[in-house]
Amino acid sequence: AAGAAAVAHAFARFQRGEPILPAEEPAETLADSIRVGKPADVVKAVKYVAETGGGYVTARDPELLSAARELARRAGVFAEPSGAAPYAALLRLVREGALGQKDRVVLIITGSGLKDPQGVTRDLPEPPLIRPDLRAVREAVERCA
């Protein structure tokens, strides 16, 4: 998350030739599972990602929420904001043209939305009440499709 990106910032400094110095940074994000201002093993994380040709991508809270909602809507995956971070990062990379059509991507959604449902459902309207019969359920589904 952009609001808790101590490792990404350390990696950026390393890429500029600066030493890797773990530092405590403010961590403010709704993605509570990755809200860490002083992560452990920053040096290992930065070196390993650099050695394998990787990088770090951050996403702002609105991007995390949007990604979580899109995962639910399109794939039936209920991810908490932290769990949706890989998908939010993918969307950013696609937008920036950093991925080609033949690139292979694997995303691991590690955090269930059941862990932090308020993180995903905030700002959403209350769901409608539906009569407990099949016709009412079908009508509701058709309205949402």
Average the pLDDT over 58-63 and give the result.
Answer: 95
Q: Residue 120: pLDDT above 80?
A: no
Cα separation, 37 vs 25, whole angstroms: 5
DSSP, res 79: B
For every residue of 108-125, DSSP letters joined together read ---SBTTTSHHHHHTTPP
**pLDDT tens readout for residues 67-79:** 999 999 999 999 9
Partnered with residue 79 across adjacent β-strands are: 112
| Confidence band of 22 (pLDDT split at 50, 70, 90) | confident
**pLDDT for 115:** 84
| Confidence band of 24 (pLDDT split at 50, 70, 90) | confident
**pLDDT for 32:** 86
Residues present in the chain in total? 145
pTM of the prediction? 0.80
Q: Residue 97: pLDDT above 90?
A: yes
Q: What percent of the chain has pLDDT over 70?
A: 99
